[in-house]
Structure 1
Amino acid sequence: MKVERELPSREAYELLELVRDVAERELRTRAAHFEDSGRFPRDTFRLLGDIGLLTLPFGEDIGGGGQPYTVYLQVLEEIAARWAAVAVGMSVHTLACHPVVAYGTPDQQAELLPQMMSGHTLGAYSLSEAHAGSDPAALRASATEGPHGWTAQGTKAWVTHGGQADFYTVFLRTSPDPRNGISCFHVEADTAGLIAGVPERKMGLRSSPTAEMHFENVFLPADRLIGTPGQGLAVALSALDAGRLGIAAVAVGIAQAALDYAVGYAQERETFGRPVIEHQGVGFLLADMAAKTEAARATYLAAARRKDSGRPYTRQASIAKLVATDAAMAVTTDAVQVLGGAGYVLDHPVERLMREAKITQIFEGTNQIQRLVISRHLAVPTL
C-alpha cells in the first residue's frame, strides 16, 4: 500500500517518487537473496550515493541534499520497507558524517567533506565496546597523545560496516576523566594497525556486516581529532539523537512492509468460503497493526519537526525510537500470525521482517535506555 505523505515541497514529492522507483527496482528484488547469503551490497550503496541519497540531510553548501529531517526520514522509511539493512546503512553513514559536519575545523571540513558527501565513500560509527554498550562513559579503548598525534589501542564492538567502511568515526578514551575523557577521531579504513574482526553471525540484517574493530598501535595524526580533547562524549550524544530518529523511521518501514504483506495475503487466502480478512479475528488484528504503524510514523515525524525547527528533541527522539521499534516488533509478530504456518517458513518475507524488527529495539540505545532518557526528562520543562 502506498503511504500517503505530507511533504513540504514539490521537490520532496518528486524525491520520494524517485526513491520508491529505485527501491522497487533495485532493492526489493535483491534483498532476500543477499540476506540469505549474508553478502554486503556495496554496489547498492554506490548507486544510492550516485543519486544523492546518502547525504540528504546535510546542507547543500557542503555537498549534501539540503533536505529537512522530515523528508530524509521518510526516504529511510521507504528504503527500509524494501530492504532494512540498506536503510540502516544509510542511517549509520549519516551518523558517521555528523561529527565532521558539526564539530570539524574549516580545514578538516575542506579536506574530508568532499569525499564524505560524494556518495562514493561509506562511513561507520564506532562508539560501543563489549563491556560498554549502553554506557559510553565506560569506554576503555584509548588514544595516547604524542608529539605529532595520537596512538590508539583497544577494540570497538558492534561496528556496522566493520571491515567494509571507507572511514570510521571512532570514540576513544584520552584521559581518565569519566565524563570529559573521551575524544572523537576520524580514521581512514586503510590506516595501519586498524584490523576488522570476523563479522558477527546475526539473527537478522545479515547483509549488513557487524564486526569488532581492533586498534593495534594505530597512529592518528593530530588533525584527525574531531572537536577538542575530551569533547567526544558530547559529540557522540549529539549524533545519537538524530540516529535514534533514523532507526525509528527504519522500524516504521519494516512495520509497513509487514502490514502490506499481511493484508495482501489475508485478501487472497480463503477459509470457510471467504477471504480471511473478512473474519473479524483477522480483520481486527490487521486494524491494530495499521494503527500501530501510523501512530509510530506520526511520532517520529513530530520529533523530526522539532529538530528541523531547531528546538530540543532528545526526549522526543527517545519516545519515537521506543514507540516505533516496539510497534515494529508487534506488527511483524502479528504479521506472522496472520499468515499462520505460512508465516513461519522462508517462502514469505514476514519471518525475516520479524527478525529485522528485533534489532531495532536494541541498537542506538536499547529501549530500556530510551525509557531511562524519557524518565529523566519528565521533570525538565520542555522548550
Structure 2
Amino acid sequence: MLNKNILICVTGGIAVYKAVALVSKLSQAGANVKVVMTKSAMEFVRPLTFQAMSRNDVFYDTFDEKDSRVIAHIDLADWADLVIIAPATANVIGKLANGIGDEMVTTILLATTAEVWIAPAMNVHMYENKAVMRNIERLHKDGYKFIEPSEGFLACGYVGKGRLEEPEKIAQLVSEKFNSNDLPLLGKKVVVTAGPTRERIDPVRYISNFSTGKMGYSMAEAAAALGAETVLISGPVGLGKPVGVKVIDVESAEEMFEAVLSEYDDATIVVKSAAVADYRPKDIHPQKIKKGEGESIIELTRTKDILKTLGERKAHQILVGFAAETENAVGHGMGKLDSKNLDFIIVNDVTDPDAGFGKETNVVTLLSKNGLNQLYPVMPKKELATVLLKAILQERTDIDDR
C-alpha cells in the first residue's frame, strides 16, 4: 500500500467509528488516505477525528473549495487509486445505483474512474429489502466490488447480517489488491458453487446431503485472495460470507443450475464443488404429508446434471469438478473427467477420517485431462484451496488468454 492513494467515503451510520480505525490502519501501512464525509456521517464522528488519523484535510461540502486551483470533487476523483465506501448506507447505495450526485460523496463517486469498493452496513431488514437488493445487484453488474457485511449483534438490537466488515479484514483486502505480484487471477472471474441443495418434499421436509460448504467457501476465499472477481453460488449452509466475494444464495438444484448459467459466459474458471442432489421428488406436496399406516413411497426424478451441461457449453472456461466418493475415488474421478468434458477434477474419499463433509481438513487428488494425477496430504481446507488453485494455474499456462 506504500504511497497508494486511497479515498474513504464515509456515510451516515453508527458503523462510522469503524471507518476511523480503517483510516488509521491504512495510514499506518503507508497509504495516502483522504476522507470525504456526508453530513449524516458528521452526526456520528466529527471531521477532526479523521483529519488526525489521516493527516489530511477532510472534505464534506461540494462548494467548500480548499484549493482554488482545482475543483475539489473532480480532483479527489482523479487522485484516488482506490475508493472505499465504508460504511455504505442503503441511501448511498441507492443513489449510486441510479446515478444521483446530490452532495460531495456521490458527485465524487460519479466522477471517479478508480475502482470502487462498497462496504454496506445497516439493519438486517434494510439490507434484505428488495429495493436495496436490486440496487446492489445493479452495482454488481456495473462492476463495483462489495465487501459483504458480516452477521452479528447490530446497534439497533437485532441479530443478523448488516455489520460493517472489520477494519482489519478490509485493510487486508486492500493490501492484497496492491500486491499484484501475488495476484495471478487479477482481472479474471472465478465462479464457485458450494454446499448442498435441498429438494422439497412438502412444506416441512426435504431431501439433502451432509455437505457443509466448507471446501467450496475455502475455494472462493482463495480465488478472491489471488485477485479474482469471485462469485460464490451457495446452497443452504451455516457459514459466514467470504470477504470480497459476491454470494448468490440458492436452495434447489434447479435454482443452482440457473444461477451458474447466468454467471458462466464471462467466467475464466468455474469450480463446481457443490454437492447437488441427483434426484428430487417428482411431485412436491403443497401441504404437509400426514403420517399414515404402513409404508409410504416417494417417486423421484433426476435433477439436471449441472457439471455435464457446463462441459457441453464450455468455450474458453477452465472447468473444475469435485467428486466425493466412498470407493475407487481416483477411478471414478477419471471417468467423470472424460464424460463431463472437464479440465480438472478434485476427488476425495469421504470415508477418510481426515476428509469429507464437515471436517476442517481434507485429503484430495487433483486430476487433469492432460494426465496430472497429484495426491495432496491432509491439510486444512483453507490452505488446500490455495494450493489447488495455484496448481491449476501452473498447469494451465494459457490463463492470460482467457
What is the TM-score when the length of structure 2 is the normalising length?
0.24
Q: Counting helix residues as a fraction of each chain, which structure ranks higher? A: 1
Higher relative contact order (CA 8 A, sep 6+): 1
Q: Counting strand residues as a fraction of each chain, which structure ranks higher? A: 2
What is the TM-score when the length of structure 1 is the normalising length?
0.25
Larger-Rg structure = 2
